[in-house]
Amino acid sequence: VIQAVFFGICVLTDLSSLLTRGNDSQEQERQLKKLISLRDWVMAVLAFPVGVFVVTMFWSIYIYDRELVYPKLLDNFIPAWLNHGMHTTVLPFVLIEMRTTHHQYPSRSCGLAAVCTFAVGYILWVCWIHHITGVWVYPLLEHLSPGVKIIFFAAVTVIINIFYLVGEVLNNYIWDTQK
């Protein structure tokens, strides 16, 4: 969903840029700058770190023991192409976007705070679903003791923050914008 929303914003930004090109409207220019800022923020804080996290974590755990993240039973309902659409294609598309479009990252402290907020919010959502249904969204969590779950959730938050920093460094490297 994050990737779909992000790339929807990218298309909207590109269309808006094309439609306002050559226009002298200050208001349209101001609105376009807001849209570009939103696109850049979503890329920096969500699309890149979450996208890289999903691909690396999903396939790492899948290779170790697929039943922990994607039980074989799901093959009956979710075709392989859709699984790859959710867990593979995210990475090349976000890397292509990073290479083709310069993104202005927020300040490091604001970016990391936003990534942490998302990570904690997502973890709370996963725990809430378990609380209501009695089923963990990710089967891996069934196998962890409460203390290990806390360590796992903390590690996940640290990893996604590392991916934020990797995205910032990669963006600066690609666009040669060292601060």
DSSP state of 141: G
- Model pLDDT, residue 96: 95
User: What does the alpha-carbon distance between residue 88 and residue 54 come to, in Å, rounded to a whole number?
Assistant: 9
**134 Rama sector, left if φ>0, alpha if ψ -120 to 50, beta otherwise:** left
User: What does the alpha-carbon distance between residue 169 and residue 179 come to, in Å, rounded to a whole number?
Assistant: 11
Least confident of 18-27, 77-86, 116-125, 136-145: 18-27
At residue 170 the predicted structure's pLDDT band, cuts being 50, 70 and 90, is very high
pLDDT of 15 > 80? The answer is yes
Of 123, 129, 125, 114, residue with least CA distance to 150: 123
pLDDT in tens, 39-71: 999 999 999 999 999 999 999 999 999 999 898
Query: pTM score, two decimals?
Result: 0.89
At residue 177 the predicted structure's pLDDT band, cuts being 50, 70 and 90, is low
Domain housing 137: 1-177
Neighbours of 21 (CB within 10 A): 8
- Per the structure, the count of domains in the chain is 1
The dihedral sign for the CA sequence 144, 72, 124, 42: positive
Supply the DSSP string of 20-67, one letter for each residue.
HTT---HHHHHHHHHHHHHHHHHIIIIIHHHHHHHHHHHHHHHHHHGG
At residue 141 the predicted structure's pLDDT band, cuts being 50, 70 and 90, is very high
Give mean pLDDT, residues 125-129. Answer: 97
pLDDT of 179 > 90? The answer is no
- Model pLDDT, residue 36: 96
pLDDT of 151 > 70? The answer is yes
Q: Residue 103: what are its φ and ψ, rounded to 5°?
A: -115, 130
